[in-house]
Amino acid sequence: MLDLLLEPVFRAICFPIGWPFIKLMTWGRYPTKGAWFAQRQESDWTAGIGLAVLAVIMMAVLKQFVFP
């Protein structure tokens, strides 16, 4: 039940962030039109890459990459 509520929120936030990275990595082939809220593997990967980018950005903002 919780999955049904959180997945649209997760995709709405992470998919647009991951979209340009996937487009660059696949030379514009993926994600295809209509993949944002579709249950496809390409939309899962795009949202996952968006989540990874958000995590790296948050780590940089919190100065996790500063070495003594």
- Return the pLDDT at 2: 65
User: CA 17, CA 26: separation in Å to the nearest integer?
Assistant: 15
- Which of 25, 23, 24, 27 lies closest to 35 in space, CA to CA? 23
- Return the pLDDT at 14: 93
- Return the pLDDT at 13: 94
- Judged by DSSP in three states, 65 sits in coil
pTM here is 0.85
Domain boundaries, the chain: 2-61
pLDDT 10s digit of each residue in the chain, 68 long? 667 888 889 999 999 999 999 999 999 888 888 887 888 888 989 999 999 999 999 999 999 988 87
Before 20, cis peptide (omega within 30)? no
